[in-house]
Amino acid sequence: GDTVAFFVHWSSRGQPQASSPMIRLSGPGGSYALKGTFKQGKDAEKGFGFIQCTETKEFFGRDVYVNKDMAAALAPGQLVAFSAYLNRDGMPNVHAMEPCDETWEATPGDLSVSLQADIDKGKGKGCKRTWNMMDDWSSWGGEPCGWDAWGWEGDWWGYGPQSFMALP
């Protein structure tokens, strides 16, 4: 499935709801969903860089971080197709990338296919863990909540962008 990022708001019943806008970070199997231009970081000795991408700049207000190992294979100004993920701070980072030409376009998501997630509400006390959503949920003071068919990353309480992946 696709990995997307969105912001969360809380419904009047206290349930998390996805808010617009939403951005696609990767396609099925981690395929590339974005295109941008590589630029070297300010400190060339550290070797990292960034991808300038209109979609991610509009959504996150920043460029996408490229670690030094990936950045070493690129030249400033080079056009790349890439997939991204959100780090622990909710900031976009490149997951995978490759050089591309100006005509490259991401394959659109297939909205004709959907999945149903079964939620186990437990004994009226929220949800029981159905997968490893958080390693230490107890430190948040609540019972874990998750979906069998879904993956989730980010700040569960909705203080930052969320990354969500639907698994086939």
Task: Tell me the pLDDT tens digit for each residue of 97-112.
Answer: 999 999 999 988 776 6
**Complete domains list, the chain, with CATH:** 1-110+148-168 (2.40.50.140)
State the Cα–Cα distance between residues 88 and 86, nearest whole angstrom.
Answer: 7
Rounded to the nearest integer, the mean pLDDT of the chain is: 75
Task: Tell me the pLDDT tens digit for each residue of 119-163.
Answer: 455 555 544 333 333 333 333 333 333 332 333 444 444 445 555
Task: Tell me the pLDDT tens digit for each residue of 65-76.
Answer: 999 999 999 999
- The maximal CA–CA distance of the chain, rounded, in angstroms, is 56
3 state DSSP class of 165: strand
Amino acid at residue number 71: A
| Greater model confidence, 103 or 10 | 103
